[in-house]
A and B are shown apart, each in its own frame.
Chain A
Amino acid sequence: MNAATHLVELEHLIVRLPVDGGRRAVLRGVDLTIGVGEAVGLVGESGSGKSMTARTIDRLLPDNAVVEGVVRFDGDDVWSMDGDALRRFRTDVAMVFQDPRAHINPVRRIGDFMTEAVIAHGLMAKREATARAIELLDAVRIDRGPARMRQYPHELSGGMLQRVMIATALMARPRLLLADEPTTALDVTTQAEVMAILDELRVEFGLAMLFITHDLELATAVCNRTVVMYAGQVMEIGEAESVESNPTHPYTIALLGARPSIAASRTRLDAIPGQPMSAYDAPDDACAFESRCKHAVDECRAAMPQLVAFGPRSVRCIRIDSPVVVAAHD
């Protein structure tokens, strides 16, 4: 993918938030790109910075956050946008969150919720907005659209409400969807259905997506590329299926090895010792994963490894060429 096709570019993004009088880093130099119409999976555990990355792209950070580095959308610096450029950006980017009930007004009807933003922004008249909402409800396979528009959120199941959120996100014809664990709170069969719908619509509308999840297998199923994050940094980027079938970074390898399998039980799971490191606890002069990594050597504690090309991958590890690590991912 060449530079001209990048819809989103993050360049060495550092975000610090005020904590206990000081400022602590939540993102520690994130580089990544999302192509036009491309789906990128952002995978990681708690505190890895995956939600913070999406929030930084969408400028949803508190006022006292300090942002270094650049977020570009369609070539323009997102954090210096104002006026019309910012308004256009707001319609180009939509977000879907984990818990639909926390992001919908419980006393407003579904129809009002779906249409209010596009009407308020002057993108559509009420009649047109209503017609589009009904069309999108049908697209997310919610039947009896006109009747649903008059219902309240409590009358819909969680899975149905999340489909309403997806339909609402598509109202203004965005070019980028930021989906933050959109199916984590749903039942597994509902998750499969919502993901199938999201995937079909995304392809049909040529929508780019940043899909945030803790589930690497789920990311593989619906994304072109996968980005693995740890402690506020990108550890590995690669084509989605190959990251899952042939992980390169010791953290990615360990993450995949730690999951139990539906196909067979094991005497012991290959658990990763210790606990996930938050970005703000991570050292600046060593690999963040080093303390939990079974391949770590003294050099891992001597300097922070850089994200470097490794074949078609980008990997942040100085040990990827070493025989033990190569053996682990073969």
Chain B
Amino acid sequence: MTETAGATELVLEARNLCKDFGAHRAVDDVSFTVRAGRSLAIVGESGSGKTTVARMIVGLERPTSGTITACGRDRSRPATTTRERRRRAREVQIVFQDPYTSLDPRQTIRGMLAEIVTSHGGAADPARVGRLLELVGLDHRQAESLPRRLSGGQRQRATIARALAAAPQVMILDESVAALDVSIQAQILNLLMDIRDETGVSYVLISHDLAVVRQLTDDVIVMRHGQVVESGATGDVLDAPAHEYTRLLRDSVPRRGWKPIRKEPV
């Protein structure tokens, strides 16, 4: 994928997004924009609605109200044709947290990638499959393996390659590095930065880990109980949080000299 659009092109926009589950409003009037090549973090704890936002962006949930626009096209309603679904897949892809459950156990990594490349490109393209494997750092033996033969980090590389296979403009990273060991997490974060440099893809990182958020994103929105409590440039928000909940989140992160503090009601 090459970046042909200007740096100010909007690749993703959510406007007044709401999602109700019965009487419960899980997402309440959430708006944000992502420009080409920029990355946004959606930060929050359990029940904040951050994962529901991600699921609505990729079409796994339908918004109760509000709109989602990717690459200038509305995707608030389900796609009705295969053609439309494939087009949407080339706009936004998602990488989930758990690489153990998000891969087909009976398909080799290369087989999986070949299938996706073929379905999007209209023809088999072994060279492109090879480039994808190289991009995520999987060797020939790993490419020919079934997922169960791979480590957690290697599996997450495979799911990232799968997302890249459709050459998306936006990749949703739903806690994609949260389950990895520290040393593997650093490898995957470096990989994600390399991929962004190389392809110009934008990330939407769904995360509770503020250090990972700082490392990977330009902008951040902080969600609590379905609402956005604070938004801004990642560095500004983390260095000088304006909302007391953001401050609590930041102060809860263990670091040098840190002592656990009791939560005061916000």
Contacts and interface: CB of A to CB of B under 8 A. Distances in A.
Contacts of A221: 254, 258-260
Interface string B181-204: 111111101100100000000000
A158 B261 CA distance: 18
A275 B184 contact: yes
Q: How large is the interface on A (under 10, 10 to 19, 20 to 34, 35 or more residues)?
A: 35 or more
Nearest to A273: B187
Contacts of B208: 187-188
A196 B251 CA distance: 13
Nearest to B210: A262
Interface in A207-224: 214-215, 217-218, 220-222
Interface in A250-265: 254-255, 258-265
Given A193-B263, A260-B214, A188 B184 contact: no
A188 B24 CA distance: 24
B194 to A, nearest CB: 9
Contacts of A258: 182-183, 185-186
Contact of B249 (A158, A189, A254, A266): A189
Contacts of B214: 260-265
A265 B215 contact: yes
Given A187-B45, A191-B252, A259-B211, A45 B181 contact: yes
B63 to A, nearest CB: 25
B238 interface: yes
Contact of A46 (B181, B211, B248, B251): B181
Contact of A260 (B154, B187, B189, B239): B189
A262 B255 contact: yes
A105 interface: no
Interface string A268-306: 111111011000000000000000100000000000000
Contact of A189 (B187, B248, B256, B258): B248
Contacts of B242: none
A261 B211 contact: yes
B186 A272 contact: yes
A85 interface: no
B229 interface: no
Contacts of B259: 196, 221
Contacts of A201: none
Interface in B211-266: 211-212, 214-216, 234-235, 238-239, 248-256, 258-263
A46 B261 CA distance: 28
A192 interface: yes
A269 to B, nearest CB: 4
Contacts of B45: 187-190
A276 B183 contact: yes
Contacts of A139: none
A271 B238 CA distance: 23
A142 interface: no
Nearest to A292: B183
B151 interface: yes
A244 interface: yes
A89 B190 CA distance: 47
A259 B216 CA distance: 13
B4 interface: no
B81 interface: no
A92 interface: no
A245 interface: yes
A199 interface: yes
B215 A255 contact: no
B190 A214 contact: no
A266 B216 CA distance: 9
B211 A260 contact: yes
Contacts of A244: 256
A191 B263 CA distance: 10
12 contacts: A188-B210, A188-B252, A192-B263, A221-B260, A258-B182, A259-B211, A265-B214, A266-B215, A268-B193, A269-B186, A271-B186, A275-B153
In the A-B complex, list the 4 residue pairs whose CB atoms are closest, starting with the nearest: A271-B186, A260-B215, A195-B260, A187-B45
Given A189-B263, A272-B187, 15 more contacts: A45-B181, A158-B46, A187-B208, A189-B248, A192-B260, A193-B260, A193-B262, A218-B254, A254-B183, A258-B185, A265-B215, A269-B189, A269-B215, A271-B190, A275-B181
